[in-house]
Each structure stands twice: as structure tokens, then as C-alpha cells.
Amino acid sequence: MGKKKREILAITAVLLIAASAGLLFLLNRSKGMALARQEAALELLGTDAICIGDEVIKPVQADAEIKNRIYTVNPGEPGIVRITDMEQSVIFLPDDAVSAEITVFSGEETVFSGSEDDFRSFYPENGRYRLGVQCRVQPTAVTSKGEEFTFEGTEEYIAELEYDVSMKISFESDRIREGSVMTVNASGVRGEVVISAGEVLAPFPLVTDERGYGRGLFSVSYITPPGTYTGFIETREGTSEFSFTIEEEQYTVQHLIISEETQSATIGNSDNRDAYNEMIDKTYYSWYPERFYDDCFTLPVDGEVTTEFGLFRYTNDNPVPTRHAGVDLAEDEGTPVLAAASGYVIAAGYNGVSGNTVVIDHGFGVRTYYFHMAELCVREGEFVEEGIEIGKVGATGYATGPHLHFNLMVHDNSVDPWAAFNGTSGIFGLDLNSSSLP
């Protein structure tokens, strides 16, 4: 072989070795870059998690897109979450999450699909379900091995959900004064829940929301004797009992003289009594599951109190007293009568006992009654705002002079109206915005 040929071969060999080394360097660099990207993906996605109640769930798979390439990490295993309270049934996404699609399966059937906010209203029957969460994270810059990568990715979470939510119900107290109201709260409600207490309180349903929370008002009449009583809770599982004690309230005494002519023309006339009963009795069945009233009722007229709530009234020296279900406020005839709170007018008309009458339903079983007005300014079926004029003071029906008889009822019981005016009534204990119930 000639010298020149050997030189060419040597140069070629050197070039080949250099090329191979360069190629190997490029391959190693590419491999290093891929490893760096993989570690960046792991750093970004592998540390994320969702929380369901007190449980932390890692993604079973996370995909990061870097420069049109998908890098996959598998940092976690499917989680198992046991839910015994609906406060646990809330999903908290990673801080860098942009959006999420949540799906719940019962067997092969999809029973829920929506966002994490929608999931708050998901309240299934007790049992086992499979949860899937597809979460997209926002574009993020991550540095790994000296390289900076900007990418976005998706995470998939899987969890077994076991719902075992039982109903819990609590009363504000096991003691209540005559003519008072207290709140009833419940959680884990499925189906209708009805509270009653025999002759003390007619049956009424709790108002429930989509997450199984229930709320209601428990009232006791001013004429129910003190003592310990039994109440009933009816659910789709059956009926249970509870006990409560009614405490005595002190009421005043009034002696009143009314002419026989007035009595005969009003309360003593059977047709008048029938007309009164027909108008008033139907209002006991009115029911709105919304609360239309705010805190503290407006005094309908700022008049002199001539007859207090709950007092014992002896009329024309009759030894057997009657009881006064409301409060009488004397004022000049024609004085505007204002709606004590917002609500629907469920009765507006005349009868020979209560005269010109208006009844307003304020929701949750709360109603107000306005008697003896000279004229009416509203019609049945109207929605009225608190403070609007609904009539004018008069002396129609069973009355000895111009005044307004004002009565507050919760379900079928007359209760203390002054507690509604000063904001201390149990009707204001309803917490409609909080789900922190028993």
C-alpha cells in the first residue's frame, strides 16, 4: 500500500472517530435532555395531589407536554375515600390547576359529570362509587439539570368513594318557653323529614337542600301548659321520638267590657264565625320553603299597646278567661299599616270577626295577621316588601275602637311577636348559608 493511501485511510479513520464521538455526544446530550424533561415533568406533576375530605390522592398518571412531546409519570395509586359526612364530599384541586372534569361511576353507569363546584351538590345514595378526575394544569416554567422548560400538562386521578352518610338531627335546645320558637337542623337527609308533637305542634317538613341538609322551625303555643312532651321525627326509615320541656311564661290579666250589641253583631253571630274560620283556617296550610324575611320585623303601626300578647282576658265579668293571640296597637283611624316583613299575601278580605284582614306568608311556616283595618291596600296573591302599606287602621269586626290586632304564627302556633320586632325570636336562627350542621 502506498504512503499516500495510508495517509488517506488514517485521516478517514480520524474523521470517523470524531464523527462517532460527536454523534455519541449528541445522543448522550439528547438522552440527558430527555431525562431532564422527564425529571421536570415529575417535579411539576408528581408532587401534585387532590384532597377529598381528609384524604390526599396522588395522580395515577400525569402527562406533561414539552415542545410537542408527551412525558408521562405514574406517581400514585388509586385512592380510597370513605365519606360519612357531606362536608367531606368536597374536592380540592392542586394550586396550579386550570380546569377539571370530574366523573363518578356506579358500575358502568355515569351518575355524575361536572366541575369541582358542581361536585359539591352531588349527594348520592349510600354505596360505593368510582371517581375519575381529569385535571389540566397551567403552563409552568420548571428548571431541571440546568435546563428551563415551559410546558403544560394533565393529571388523572382515580379514587373509590364509599358513601356512608347517616342522618343526624339536632334541636336548638331540649327546653322551650311558652309562645317561643327554636331551630331544627339536620344533615344526611334522604327523602322527606316531618317533625310533629301531637296536639302541641302540627306536622311540618324540614326544608332540605341538594346536599342533604335540612332546616326548620319548632314552635310552641302560648297556651300550651308547661311540662315534658314527646315529639316525633318521621323519615323514610320510620318514626323516632324525642322529648322536650315547655317552660312557663308569665302573662298579664285584662278585664274588658264590650256591649252585647257589639258581641251579637260580630263574634256572637255564627255566620260571622264561619266566615272567619273559612278565611283563617286555610292560611294554616300555606307553605313556602323559602325565607322571605330578614332580621327584625318592622312594627306595623307605632301605636299604644292596649292589649298584650298572651294575656288572660276576662270579658264582661265572665269568670272564664280567653287568651289573646296577638298584640293590639291603638292608633288613629286611617293610619297606614305596614307589612312587618316581606312575603306573599295569602288572604285579604273581610269577615265579621276580624274585619278587614290581611295575612302574609313569610316562608318556613312564618305568617303574620293584621285585623280590624278600615281598608285594604293589597290583594291576595301579591308579593309585598317589608314596610309597604297594606291597609289602614280601623275598627271593623270585633273591635271597640280603632286599633290593629297583630298576630305572629309559626306553623299552627301563635308566638311572641315582640321577639320578632327586637330580633331575638327563634325564627331568625335559621342559617341558610352555612352547611356546618350536625
pLDDT by residue for the chain (438 residues), tens only, comes to 565 555 555 555 544 444 444 434 333 444 444 555 555 555 555 556 778 877 887 777 666 655 555 556 565 667 788 898 888 888 888 777 788 899 999 999 999 999 988 998 899 999 999 998 888 877 766 665 566 656 667 778 888 999 999 999 999 999 999 999 999 999 999 999 999 999 999 999 999 998 899 999 999 999 999 999 999 999 998 999 999 999 999 888 878 777 777 766 677 788 889 999 999 999 998 999 999 998 899 999 999 999 999 888 887 878 877 788 999 999 999 999 999 999 999 999 999 999 999 999 999 999 999 999 999 999 999 999 999 999 999 999 989 899 999 999 999 999 999 999 999 999 999 876 655 455
- Asked whether residue 16 is domain-assigned, the answer is no
Given 247, 268, 302, which residue is the final one in a domain?
A: 247
Same domain, 283 and 413: yes
- Local structure of 190: helix, strand or coil: coil
- Asked whether residue 82 is domain-assigned, the answer is yes
- Asked whether residue 434 is domain-assigned, the answer is no
**Which of 333, 329, 294 minimizes the C-alpha distance to 407?**
329
Same domain, 258 and 221: no
Pair 103, 60: CB distance under 8 Å: no
- Asked whether residue 60 is domain-assigned, the answer is yes
Query: What is the helix (H) or strand (E) element at residue 418, kind and residue range?
Result: helix 418-421
Pair 291, 331: CB distance under 8 Å: no
Same domain, 225 and 107: no
**Which of 281, 305, 297, 306 minimizes the C-alpha distance to 338?**
297
pLDDT at site 366: 97
pLDDT at site 30: 44
Same domain, 304 and 422: yes
pLDDT at site 57: 79
pLDDT at site 17: 46
pLDDT at site 319: 81
Its domain, for residue 186, covers 168-247
Report how far Cα 184 is from the mean position of its chain's Cα atoms.
13
pLDDT at site 374: 98
Same domain, 122 and 174: no
- Asked whether residue 3 is domain-assigned, the answer is no
Exposure of 351 in the CB half-sphere (CA atoms within 13 A) = 23
- Asked whether residue 103 is domain-assigned, the answer is yes
**Which of 78, 135, 129 minimizes the C-alpha distance to 108?**
129
Same domain, 233 and 269: no
Pair 122, 89: CB distance under 8 Å: yes
Same domain, 391 and 304: yes
Angle at 182 between CA 177 and CA 186, to 5 degrees: 145
pLDDT at site 268: 75
pLDDT at site 362: 97
Query: What is the helix (H) or strand (E) element at residue 263, kind and residue range?
Result: helix 260-265
pLDDT at site 16: 46
CA dist 126 and 103 (Å) reads 17
- Asked whether residue 123 is domain-assigned, the answer is yes
pLDDT at site 15: 45
- Asked whether residue 87 is domain-assigned, the answer is yes
CA distances from 147 to 42, 48, 358, 413 (A): 14, 21, 78, 76
Same domain, 152 and 286: no
Same domain, 198 and 277: no
Same domain, 406 and 276: yes
CA distances from 361 to 284, 295, 414 (A): 10, 16, 14
pLDDT at site 110: 97
Same domain, 226 and 242: yes
**Which of 313, 299, 297, 318 minimizes the C-alpha distance to 251?**
313
Pair 373, 337: CB distance under 8 Å: yes
Same domain, 54 and 139: yes
pLDDT at site 40: 53
pLDDT at site 25: 36
CATH number at residue 220: 2.60.40.1930
Given 224, 247, 270, which residue is the final one in a domain?
A: 247
Cell 309562645 appears where? 179
Domains held by the chain: number: 3
Given 247, 263, 293, which residue is the final one in a domain?
A: 247
Burial of 73 from C-beta contacts in 10 A (0-12 / 13-18 / 19+)? buried
Q: Which residues contact 359 (CB under 8 A, 6 or more apart)?
A: 280, 283, 345, 346, 347, 348, 367, 368, 369, 370
CATH number at residue 262: 2.70.70.10
